[in-house]
Amino acid sequence: MEDAIPLSLPDITQIEIDTVMQTLLSGRLSIGPMLERFEEGCAHVTGRTHGVGCSSGTAGLHMALLALGVGPGDEVITTPFSFIASANVIQFVGAKPVFVDICPKSLNADPAKIEAAVTDRTKAIMAVEAFGNPMHFDSYRKIAEKHEIWMIEDSCEALGGSYRGRRLGSYGHVGVFGFYPNKQITTGEGGMVVTDDDHIAEACRSLRNQGRAPGTVKGTSGSWFDFDRLGYNYRLSEIPAALGVAQLSRLDEILEFRREVARKYVERLMGNTEIILPTVPEEDTMSWFVFVIRLNDRYTGEERDRIIEGMHRHDVGAAPYFPCIHLQSFYRDTFGYREGMFPIAESVSSRTIALPFHARLSERDIDFAASTLELMLGRENLRRD
């Protein structure tokens, strides 16, 4: 059953419906003008030269690693506190994810710990803006430069944000966005690689299309159909691309709505000593992905889970964002990871609650979600005393 106040909801208006409809009637359903427009739009928004559309954020991250030549025997440093795709893709190319613990304020990988984890085998940093927060991205960039390693920016939660004058998606050699329905903008499923590097862009265009050699991608008459590498079908069809074009045209509005919802939550919950509100960077350029609060350290993971269940019983969406990647059974079994290895990430992760968050959330819904959370906190306190 869906919650009456869902955790997330795409913001679809008549512009999106019209643009998709026109595309459906155009007769051109893949490799067409909408993909190009969406790519140009994403490159523009992030201040980069190239955009390469693809079938998901995960596919984009996979292609970025391949384009940078990351492969077997290489190590890629990343955070255990993210969506699992950030680390899974590293194994797609046969490399090893090396986790480092997070900074308890930003919830992003701690720069000092990244630096300490660099070895001869380190080929790249997979940097993630957790919940859209860009703190430390200038430090990551300096570390990558100093050690001459690649920086991939998993910006799947950060479209439209900026930090210290630089747009998110442009800190790394490559940036990647995802457009699943819970993201700031959606194409249903879809992704985008952005970069200033011609070779990386060209490699990704080829990789998403079965490895077809550059210059033959569109298969125009007279061109040679040469496949000079192992590629995939990671293409983005015209229908989602059209949805993306329409969503992107409303990006400022959507981000403004989301900022306003975040502001109202903060206003409503400020002063509640049971919870810790999200830290935002000094400038107000945050692209809000989700609104995640943390219970103070009196609460256990079981108590947190009970609070989430209680919220669902009251028809309010809530979720434990994110369970640590290193503690997933696949990672325990493959790498021998155990509890206690990344104590800050584990402690944070056992006490987070994502609250309902989307552009159209009304003041009443925000108040109801916050009141339901407070009710559940009260119940846990009664239980304990």
Ligand X SMILES: *Cc1c(COP(=O)(O)O)cnc(C)c1O
Task: Enter the tokens of residue 201.
Answer: 């862009």
Selected from 180, 331, 337, 357, the binder of ligand X by CB under 6 A is 180
The CB-of-239 to ligand X minimum distance in angstroms stands at 16
Place of tokens 């696949």: 330
Q: Which amino acid is at 306?
A: R
Cβ atoms < 10 Å from Cβ of 340 = 7
**Binding residues for ligand X, total number by CB under 6 A:** 14
End-to-end CA distance of the chain: 33
Cβ atoms < 10 Å from Cβ of 214 = 14
Which one of 38-46, 54-62, 225-233, 348-356 is the stretch in contact with ligand X (CB under 6 A)? 54-62
Distance of CA 301 to CAs 102, 201, 251, 277, 320, Å?
Answer: 18, 43, 36, 18, 10
The CB-of-24 to ligand X minimum distance in angstroms stands at 23
The CB-of-158 to ligand X minimum distance in angstroms stands at 9
Cα(141)–Cα(155) distance, rounded to whole angstroms? 14
The CB-of-315 to ligand X minimum distance in angstroms stands at 25
Q: What is the DSSP letter of 154?
A: E
Which one of 18-26, 77-85, 238-246, 275-283 is the stretch in contact with ligand X (CB under 6 A)? 77-85
8 binds ligand X (CB under 6 A): no
Which has the closest alpha carbon to 97: 324, 292, 348, 340? Answer: 324
The answer to whether 207 touches 52, Cβ cutoff 8 Å, is no
160 binds ligand X (CB under 6 A): no
Selected from 23, 78, 79, 82, the binder of ligand X by CB under 6 A is 82
- In this complex, which beta carbon is closest to ligand X, that of residue 348 or of residue 370? 348
The DSSP-derived string for 169-205 is: TSSSSEEEEE--TTSSS--SS-EEEEES-HHHHHHHH
Selected from 19, 58, 237, 287, the binder of ligand X by CB under 6 A is 58
Selected from 53, 160, 178, 278, the binder of ligand X by CB under 6 A is 178
- In this complex, which beta carbon is closest to ligand X, that of residue 179 or of residue 265? 179
- In this complex, which beta carbon is closest to ligand X, that of residue 129 or of residue 346? 129
Which one of 81-89, 167-175, 201-209, 293-301 is the stretch in contact with ligand X (CB under 6 A)? 81-89
The answer to whether 294 touches 346, Cβ cutoff 8 Å, is no
76 binds ligand X (CB under 6 A): no
57 binds ligand X (CB under 6 A): yes
365 binds ligand X (CB under 6 A): no
Cβ atoms < 10 Å from Cβ of 228 = 11
Which one of 15-23, 41-49, 56-64, 165-173 is the stretch in contact with ligand X (CB under 6 A)? 56-64
- Do strands 122-128 and 96-99 pair parallel, antiparallel, or not at all (unpaired)? unpaired
User: Is the dihedral angle over the CA atoms 176, 181, 184, 189 positive or is it negative?
Assistant: positive
Beta bridge partners of 150: 124
Selected from 19, 46, 78, 86, the binder of ligand X by CB under 6 A is 86
56 binds ligand X (CB under 6 A): yes
Selected from 67, 85, 87, 324, the binder of ligand X by CB under 6 A is 85
Cα(199)–Cα(222) distance, rounded to whole angstroms? 24
Report the residue number whose CB is nearest to ligand X.
57
The answer to whether 239 touches 102, Cβ cutoff 8 Å, is no
Q: Which amino acid is at 357?
A: F
The CB-of-190 to ligand X minimum distance in angstroms stands at 7
The CB-of-333 to ligand X minimum distance in angstroms stands at 22
- In this complex, which beta carbon is closest to ligand X, that of residue 352 or of residue 372? 352
- In this complex, which beta carbon is closest to ligand X, that of residue 133 or of residue 372? 133
- In this complex, which beta carbon is closest to ligand X, that of residue 61 or of residue 307? 61
Segment 122-151, which members bind ligand X (CB under 6 A)? 128
Residue 269 backbone phi and psi in degrees, to 5:
-100, -10
- List interacting residues with ligand X (CB under 6 A): 56-58, 82-83, 85-86, 128, 154, 156-157, 178, 180, 191
